[in-house]
Amino acid sequence: MGTLLSKSAKPRIDLATHTFGVSVESDLEVLLQQARSNLPRLNEDFVTRAFRFCVEAHKRDVRSSGEPYYTHPVQVAIIVCREIPLDDISVAAALLHDVVEDTEFSLRDIREEFGAEVAEIVDGATKISDVFKSREITQAENYRKLLLSLVNDVRVILVKFADRLHNMRTIDVLPAERQERLARETMEIYAPFAHRFGLGNIKWELEDLAFKVLNREAYDDIKRQLNSTREERSDYIARFAKPIEERLKTIGLACEINGRPKHIYSIYKKMITRGKSIDDLYDLFAVRLILESEDNNDCFLAYGIVSEIYVPVPERFKNYISVPKKNGYRSLHTTVIGSDGKRVEVQIRTRAMHEFAERGVAAHFRYKAETGATASWIDSKDLAEWASWVRDVFENAGDEAAEQLMESFKLNLYQDEIYVFTPAGELRILPRGATPIDFAFEIHSAVGARCIGAKVNGRIVPLDHALQTGDQVEILTSKNQTPNRDWERIVVTHKAKSHIRRILNEERRNRVTEGKELWDKKAKKLGLHINEDELERICVQLKYDSRTDMFYAIGMGTLSADAAADMVQAKMGPQSAELDRTEEVFTAHQFRETARGSTNGVQIVGDTSPSARMLYSYARCCNPVPGDAIVGVITIGTGIKVHRANCRNVTEFQDRLKPRIVDVAWTGHPKGEFLAAVKITGDDRPGMLNDITSAVISIDNTNIRGVNIDAFDSMFEGILTVYVHDTAHLRKIFDRLLRIKGVRSIERFEG
């Protein structure tokens, strides 16, 4: 080491002995002083060489302010030392983070001179820069790069935080348009990310700096009001803290008590959401108790003392020690009534908890004592859960549109949390507004996909019910259930949304394939010769976005292949009169195998020939069941479609369908299971959904296809889809359901 090869001129510099001007050497000494004061271990020669390389690499570069460019990476390195102190590897990477992107030196140069660890961090930081350089994240692949950087070495994003923080501190020298873009990006991406990393101080400062650009008038107004009351607040907090400090001292509990800094953007958000002026916000008076203790129970002891001295506000107590936030934050929060009737927010934590609150996941970074050389993450459940969350967000992206992924990602970064429990008492942390479907997918993707209902605290709730902290949630499932489009609107977690989209997209692909097969058969039978481009053009004229959408409609049964052929032929012009030759069509399909592959399902009335076979299928609109009065409608290519005689689609269009209607009847004892839909209403009460599903299953072990129940006021209404053998089987289900306490009505459902 000691020499470097550049991409072009390949200059040689001796990093150990090369010196610069007085001001540069002074900057180096400031950096080393910060490193000595804050890093647990420091190789000064290593950092010095990285500094000299940084200055040499950027010697021709100048910042927008007119300063030498090297001052920026040096300030980033100082932030890494002072505010998220990790190790000398991170400091070196901070010094070199712009070298590959902005100078003639390559990643290979850095790897040869400073080792693989530094090179990987620099490479990761460069990739993150590439993600944001286009001003908008447009490709899911960029997220893969970001994930790779985060999971392989979290120091990448920590260096990037420091980089963005210094850029925001010096943003005033940039043009207004670029200031606004950087500020919005900081507010939407970097600040929420810092929140998830538990980097409280950096998150607050990034928000305030971005807010200053995006709403300067409000920023200046709040800052002016805070400055005018700063001395008053300091005096009040000192008087408030004095009796607490004295009581803690008498029991031998050392602590640091100080006023919690107020952040302008946080105050602005509270003013907007609560509709109050700055004078009405009681939490402008806030105190933090940091205990010099390693025993978490001392926090509860301190809380007891605070509650004895001042009257607590019960509903404002939050225990983040027993149940930490998802980013690992732990502390006790309470609000008490101080002197003069003022409300004061109090946070109580140990020194270790405070370190994590300030430094987030960086607090988990330590050197391995046994090697004395290599930096590593210490074992941490909090860190493992956080890493799992990051992986989940990105690995479940699938084929999701970049815009959808980005929006979902932003929401999940910043949402408040609720704490809910499984029936076995296991804790699950979800974002506020989460529904039973979110909870089901949190348990397992298979549980989410098969969710047919939920009980919260023993009471049936609709699937869009908003869960609350403390709820105990039981998910009811059916192996025949599948998600529907409404679910995507209901859920709030990224995990649930991505799984639902994946399942629905797969279902759509299957339906498109089925629809295309039906269309191809129909086109072949009619002798329709039409190329893909022509069919695409006609489908657009028919108000479909593409021919794929028409295939999907055919596959779903909302459009028959016959109707599709009629419409396409009408747009093509007269090519065939075959659609009107009902008798020929009927004859062509009368003696073919049935769709069920059985000879004892449905037959033409009056035709008792044992050899008579026909192609038929059951209409999805009314789901006929053996025992129902039925009629048949002749179609092209799919034989006879069997409907219930009172089906709306038959009665409403009887005149038009008359030439195609034939009398059909059930033959013998049809085998198999038939889908039936039941509408049920009644009084909502705890255990109702369980009673309904238990009653259905008790009748000949009936298979439930799905349950969709909504509750409103004290009533519920739902659709139950089941597989039955015949109408007698269905009547048994009706009878059993009517015996359930609170059930008011049951009827067959069409739709």
Residues labelled as active-site residues: 101-102
- Return the C-alpha torsion angle 124, 126, 128, 131, nearest 10: -140
Beta bridge partners of 682: 716, 743
Q: What tokens appear for 186 in the block?
A: 């900081």
Using CB atoms within 10 A of its CB, is residue 455 exposed (0-12), middle (13-18) or buried (19+)? buried
Q: What tokens appear for 340 in the block?
A: 């003069």
Using CB atoms within 10 A of its CB, is residue 283 exposed (0-12), middle (13-18) or buried (19+)? middle
DSSP state for residue 131 in the 8-state scheme: H
C-alpha gyration radius of the chain: 35
Q: What tokens appear for 280 in the block?
A: 């009405």
Report the length, in residues, of the chain: 751
DSSP 344-376: EEEEEEEHHHHHHHHHGGGGGEEE-TTTSS-EE
Using CB atoms within 10 A of its CB, is residue 501 exposed (0-12), middle (13-18) or buried (19+)? buried
**Beta pairing, strands 640-644 & 616-618:** parallel
Using CB atoms within 10 A of its CB, is residue 667 exposed (0-12), middle (13-18) or buried (19+)? middle
Using CB atoms within 10 A of its CB, is residue 601 exposed (0-12), middle (13-18) or buried (19+)? buried
591 C-beta neighbours (distance < 10 Å), count: 12
CA-closest candidate to residue 708, choices 372, 463, 421, 431: 463
CA distances from 624 to 3, 558, 602, 645, 732 (A): 83, 17, 11, 9, 17
3-state SS class at 596:
coil
Exposure letters 25-47 (e unless 16+ CB within 10 A, then b):
eebbeebbebbeebbeebbeebb
Cα angle: 568, vertex 574, 577; to 5 degrees: 95
Integer Cα distance of 680 and 743 in angstroms? 7
Q: Residue 325 — left, alpha, or beta (φ > 0 → left; ψ -120 to 50 → alpha)?
A: beta
199 C-beta neighbours (distance < 10 Å), count: 29
Q: Are 735 and 510 in contact (CB under 8 A)?
A: no
Those residues whose C-beta lies under 8 Å from the C-beta of residue 328, and which sit 6 or more positions away, are 198, 356, 360, 361, 380, 382, 383, 385, 386
Exposure letters 692-713 (e unless 16+ CB within 10 A, then b):
bbebbeebeebebbbbbbbbee
CA-closest candidate to residue 716, choices 681, 668, 747, 749: 681
